[in-house]
A and B are shown apart, each in its own frame.
Chain A
Amino acid sequence: MLKALEISALKKVYKGGFEALKGIDLTVNEGDFFALLGPNGAGKSTTIGVITSLVNKTSGQVKVFGHDLDTELEAAKSYIGLVPQEFNFNQFESLTTILVNQAGYYGVERSLAHKRAEKYLKQLDLWEKRHAAARMLSGGMKRRLMIARALMHEPKMLILDEPTAGVDIELRRSMWDFLRELNQQGITIILTTHYLEEAEMLCRNIAIIDSGLIVENTTMKALLSKLDVETFVLDHAETSVSPSLDGFSYRILDEHSLEIDVKKSQNINQVFTQLTDQKIDVKSMRNKSNRLEELFVTLVSNGLGNNNEKSSDKPEAGAN
C-alpha cells in the first residue's frame, strides 16, 4: 500500500534549545483516517508544521506520497491540504477571493477555481456568504472556510489541526459527515483534536505524542481494547434501599445515581441482575467519560515518553 506520509527520526529543536520533537517515526497509509493526539505542547503542531514546511526541521526525513521534503518540496506540497488551528486567511477579502487565490497558488486557473469555489462553498453551507468579507463570518463558518480553502486544489492528503475547536455540536457532527465523505472518496485525512470522541468516531489509526515522542501508534480498535476498566453511570428509580453490588467497585453519587467500574473480565449483566434482585429499576446508563479519553489520560499521565513503550501493533490498512 502506498504511504501517504512517512516520517523518520524527525527532530526539531527551537531557538533557545527547546526540543519539540525528539526523533519521531510515523507512517500513514494512503486512504487512512488518522488521529494524531497529544496534550498541549506535546509536538502535534510542530509535526504538522514540518510536514507542511511552515517549520524548518532540525533533522530527520519526511516523505509525502514518496516525495522527500528535502529534495522534492514542491511535489510534496502539491499533495497536501492544510486546515490550520488558527484562522490565517485575509480577514478583509471575500470568501470567493480567498478560495480562488488559494487555488491559483497551486496552479489552478481562475475559471476552474471559481467552479470549485462554488462547489465547496455550497457543500459547506457558505454559498450565501460568498461575497462577504471573511471577518464577518462566525467562528464555525471560518472553520468551514478553511476546510474549503484546503480542498481547492483537490489534495490527496488533508491535514486538520483542531478543525472543530469552538464549533457547536450540531455543526461538528455535520463536519464529521463531510470529512467521512472526503475520506470515502479516497482522501487521506490526518486529524488532531482535543475532542477525543471525535477521534474515536472518525479515525481508524492513531498516534499519541507526548513530550516530543510517539508514545502510542496503533489501530483505534487495538488501543481501545487496552482499556481495562470502563466506568458507567446508572440512573435508577427512587428506592428505599441503598444499592449494593458484590464484586464491583462502585460509588453512590446521589439517591438516583450510581457510578460503577466494570473490568474487562467482568460481565455488566451481573450488575443488572444484582440491582433487579434488590428491586431497583435502572432507568438509563451511560459511560462516565469517553473510552479514548480514559486511555489518553492514562497514557500521557503515565509519562510513557520513551520508545520502549511503543505499541508493536501495526496500523491497519487505511481503505474502507
Chain B
Amino acid sequence: MSSKRNFVALKSIMYKEIHRFIRIWVQTLVPPAITISLYFVIFGSLIGARIGEMGGFDYMSFIVPGLIMMSVITNSYSNVASSFFSAKWQRNVEEMLVAPVPNWVIVAGYVGGGMARGILVGLIVTLVSLFFVEIQIHNIWVIIITVSLTSATFALGGLINAIFAGSFDDISIIPTFVLTPLTYLGGVFYSISLLPDFWQGVSQINPIVYMVNAFRYGFLGISDVSLTVSFGVLFVFIVSLFAIAMTLITKGIGLRS
C-alpha cells in the first residue's frame, strides 16, 4: 500500500516537474538549441577549421560530446534549482511536506524532473549538431550511463542549492561562479593532455573532466581519463549529494520552522 502510494507520489512530482519545463519551453528548451548552434558556427565552422585535429578527430567532432554534456549539466542543475526554489518561495512546497510523501520520494521526484530536462535538452542539442557534423557512436551504453549519472549528479546539486537559497540571486551564484568555469575548464573545448603537467593535475580535481571524457569516449572512443575512474567519480558524487540532500530535507533546513 505504502509502496504503491510512494510510486504514485513519485510519478506526480515528476509529472509536475516535466509539465513545468514543457509549459515554459521557450525559456527552457529553445535557448540551449540557439546557444549550441552559435558554438558550432563559431568554434566549429569558423575557428575550428583553423585548429585542425584534436585527439585524432576534426575539432567539430571533438567538441560535440562536450557541448552536449555542457547543456545536460546546465539544464539539469538549473531546472531543479529554479523549480524547487520557486516552490519554496511560493510556499507550494508545503503541498508535499504536509502529504505522506517520504523525503526520498521528494528528492527522487525533483532529480527525475531535472534529469528529464537535462536529457531532453541533450537530445535537442544532439539533433542540432547533426546539421553541422556527422555524429559517430562508439559505445551507446557508455553514453546512456554517463548522461544519466551526470544529469542526476547536477540535479542533486541544483536541489541542494535551492534548499539553501534565500533569494533568486542565490540560485544563480553557483551556476555563474562555479559551474560555468568548471565546465569551460573541464575539457569541453580541448584535451587536457594539451595542458602543462601542473594544470593537468589541477584539472583532475575538476569532476566535470571525468563526465565530459566519459561521454566523449561513448561517442569517439577517446578519453583523457580512465572510464572506470570516471564512473567511480560519478558514483561517489551521486551518493554523497543524495545523502546531503536527504539530510537537509529531513532536518527541514530552509523548509520547516
Contacts and interface: CB of A to CB of B under 8 A. Distances in A.
Interface string B64-97: 0000000000000000000000110011101111
A104 B11 contact: yes
B257 A88 contact: no
A163 to B, nearest CB: 16
B86 to A, nearest CB: 8
A241 B209 CA distance: 99
A175 interface: no
Question: Chain B, interface size: which category?
Answer: 20 to 34
A108 B2 CA distance: 12
Nearest to B91: A88
A139 interface: no
A217 to B, nearest CB: 25
A49 to B, nearest CB: 6
Contacts of B252: 56
Contact of B256 (A53, A90, A102): A53
A105 B101 contact: yes
B8 A108 contact: yes
Interface residues of A, number: 36
B100 interface: yes
Contact of B98 (A75, A77, A108): A77
A84 interface: yes
A101 B98 contact: no
Interface string A208-252: 000000000000000000000000000000000000000000000
B148 to A, nearest CB: 24
A56 B100 contact: no
Given A75-B100, A88-B94, 7 more contacts: A53-B256, A88-B90, A90-B87, A92-B23, A104-B12, A107-B5, A107-B100
19 contacts: A52-B98, A54-B94, A74-B100, A74-B102, A75-B100, A77-B98, A77-B100, A88-B91, A89-B90, A90-B92, A101-B12, A102-B95, A104-B12, A105-B13, A106-B99, A106-B100, A107-B4, A109-B8, A149-B95
